[in-house]
Amino acid sequence: MDKITIFCSASDRISPLYMEAATELGEWIGKHHKELIYGGSNAGLMECVARAVKEHGGMIMGVVPTKLEQDGKVSDLLDITFRASDLSDRKDIMVREGDIMVALPGGVGTLDEIFHVVASGIMGYHNKKVILYNINGFWDGMIDFMDKLEEQNFSHYPLKNYCIVVNTFDELVGMLA
């Protein structure tokens, strides 16, 4: 899998633990000559992972919605820029361009991206998966919620067919290699 889409936070006010994990992943992507596809922001984990990819020789594709551009929040590290009219368009492009998606810790936008991949996969629009990188148990609450969806028959298909959980960096790169 050469084209890795990353979903993650654009907040600069999060724990350094998550910044370190994003840097480690970005270094791996760059050193292994993979391509990063991400939301194109110049903040938070987005900029952190992009900087590490760039510093280690990888290529960066940013999918930039018009609003991000208008607000002056676009990273200057991008090798390729995809312009998106809005967040829905951005998600579609990110899923289309990536071979696999990885969700680092993030907020509402990251949740939206994760469930976009899962829902569109269930509907048969693609056969791609999203990997939840469960750093320090970040995704535990969402994993429990998804289990409850299945237990109570709100999901017609096992969500694990579309969403894979990894708890360590070694597990993650094992999935990406």
| pLDDT one-digit tens code per residue, 43-57 | 999 999 999 999 999
Joined tokens for residue 103: 């969700």
The ranges assigned to domains in the chain are 3-171
pTM value is: 0.96
Asked if 63 and 98 touch (Cβ cutoff 8 Å), the reply is no
pLDDT in tens, 140-177: 999 999 999 999 999 988 888 999 999 999 999 999 98
Is residue 100 predicted with pLDDT exceeding 80?
yes
The HSE-up count of residue 164 (CA atoms within 13 Å, CB side) is 15
- Both tokens of 80, joined, read 């390729």
Domain 3-171 has CATH 3.40.50.300: no
Average pLDDT of the residues in 6-35: 97
Residue 1 has pLDDT above 80, yes or no: no
